[in-house]
Amino acid sequence: MGKRSMPETSEPSGPHAPVLLDEVIAALSPLDGKRVVDGTFGAGGYSRALLQAGAIVIAIDRDPTVKPYADALLAEFQDRFIFVPGTFSALDTLAAEHGPIDGVVLDIGVSSMQLDEADRGFSFMRDGPLDMRMSGQGESAADLVNTLDVEPLANLLYAFGEERKSRRIAQFIVAARETGPIETTLQLARIIEKSIGRKPGDAHPATRSFQALRIAVNGEFDQLVNGLFAAERLLAKDGKLAVVTFHSLEDRIVKRFFDPDKGGPTQSRYMPEVESEPRRWVSVTKAIKAGEAELGRNPRARSATLRAGTRSPIPARPVALDGLGVPVIRGAE
Ligand SMILES: C[S@@+](CC[C@H](N)C(=O)[O-])C[C@H]1O[C@@H](n2cnc3c(N)ncnc32)[C@H](O)[C@@H]1O
């Protein structure tokens, strides 16, 4: 995979600094009078810039703690801003009554507020309850590490975190449970460090495992795939979709979604020619990364990748995982 998706910085907590903002706005432009769905509202950095560019914004977030940021934009922009709590996997349904929609933006992953708030349990740098639930509902990371057996836990860490030492980590976790449940982030981080050691200069040994647990707790691949297809259904010809991801497993899904030929079988001159599907997305960009200036201001932007495309008139596809390269937990197929 690319670099880490869970940066281990000691930056001060505070509202999220929007990543690749100018590039996202450029990808969705022109914006004056257009209706745009911001599927990952966070602290509202993208929404604010979209509103300032003259758009009407329908913002979605599954985290109820973003409400004060939404209230602030509502007070400032009034009827040009609508906030809808929910998950972006259902963005077409959530935005249906506010349509027709001209653009969708998704900024996948955790916000700085979620990462920096110890009580949310996302960070192995801050001691807090082992939670990681963006919505505050459903199974927590503690539920997973305290109930899964070695085999399914190792498979999860391997599939969602690309953790090659997943089995050893899972064995240490299950053994540690014998003396009592694992309840805090630092408790888990220490168990992982004990299991696979720590080399100076390397990323924290818990990086990949925390990423895997966070993805599992929040069903992030399922959300991403369904969100992409929901945007495809929602947007008519010329509608624009911009997606920012933070690690290579997500970026691969977005890349193949925009260009299904990237995930298909390689054409061979010995095989009958495979017909390409008609394109749902045109003017698809290459991977766009943060420039030096942004990286200087915001080191968290270093693993961000933006991809964008414009909707063709071809009707939307049914949701299908084939060819998207979605990681699957072994034994759970
Ligand atoms: C990286 S932050 C977005 C930051 C935002 N672009 C800004 O400028 O402030 C991601 C946000 O998306 C939310 N989120 C993540 N997955 C979601 C999902 N499946 N549905 C709705 N919101 C989601 C998180 O709760 C978080 O607030």
User: Would you state the pLDDT for residue 15?
Assistant: 83
Nearest-angstrom CA–CA distance, 18 and 138:
28
Identify which of 10, 4, 205 has the alpha carbon closest to the alpha carbon of residue 126. Answer: 10
The DSSP code sequence of 30-53 is --TT-EEEES--TTSHHHHHHHHT
Determine the atom of ligand 1 nearest the C-alpha atom of 113.
27
Nearest ligand 1 atom to the CA of 105 is 6
Residues 253, 262: contact at Cβ < 8 Å?
Answer: no
Total residue count of the chain as it appears in this document: 333
Give the chain's largest Cα–Cα span.
64
Going by C-alpha positions, the residue among 16, 210, 200 that lies closest to residue 121 is: 210
Residue 273 is predicted with a pLDDT of 63
What is the position in ligand 1's atom list of the atom closest to the CA of 43? 9
DSSP string, 53-93: TT-EEEEEES-GGGHHHHHHHHHHHGGGEEEEES-GGGHHH
CB 5 within 8 A of CB 247: yes
How many Cα atoms are found within 13 Å in the side-chain-facing hemisphere of 134?
A: 26
* Beta carbon of 87 within 6 Å of any ligand 1 atom: yes
Would the CB of 50 count as within 6 Å of ligand 1? no
CA gap 185, 122 in Å, rounded: 8
* 293 touches 235 (CB < 8 A): no
Is 162 in contact with 249 (CB distance < 8 Å)?
yes
Give dist(CA 34, CA 53) in Å, integer: 9
pLDDT of residue 268: 55
Is the CB of residue 280 below 6 angstroms from any atom belonging to ligand 1? no
- According to DSSP, the β-strands at 240-245 and 103-107 are parallel
CA distances from 19 to 64, 142, 188 (A): 21, 30, 29
Among the listed residues 85, 64, 82, 63, the one whose alpha carbon sits nearest the alpha carbon of residue 73: 82
Q: Which two tokens stand for residue 214?
A: 């966070």
- Ligand 1 atom closest to the CA of 69, numbered from 1: 9
Q: Which of 36, 108, 111, 297 to mutate to test the pocket of ligand 1 (most atoms within 8 A of CB)?
A: 111
Closest C-alpha to 157, from 167, 171, 147: 167
pLDDT in tens, the chain (333 residues): 333 333 333 333 348 899 999 999 999 999 999 999 999 999 999 999 999 999 999 999 999 999 999 999 999 999 999 999 999 999 999 999 998 999 999 999 899 999 999 999 999 999 999 999 999 999 999 999 999 999 999 999 999 999 999 999 999 999 999 999 999 999 999 999 999 999 999 999 999 999 999 999 999 999 999 999 999 999 999 999 999 999 999 999 999 999 988 765 555 556 666 667 799 999 999 999 999 999 999 998 999 999 999 999 999 999 999 999 999 998 766
pLDDT of residue 109: 85
Ligand 1 pocket: which of 20, 47, 61 to mutate (most atoms within 8 A of CB):
61
Instruction: Write out the two tokens for 257.
Output: 């979604």
Characterize the bridge pairing of strands 281-282 and 305-311: antiparallel
| β-bridge pairing 305-311 and 240-245 | antiparallel
Interatomic CA distance for residues 277 and 261, integer angstroms: 8
The H or E element spanning position 241 is: strand 240-245
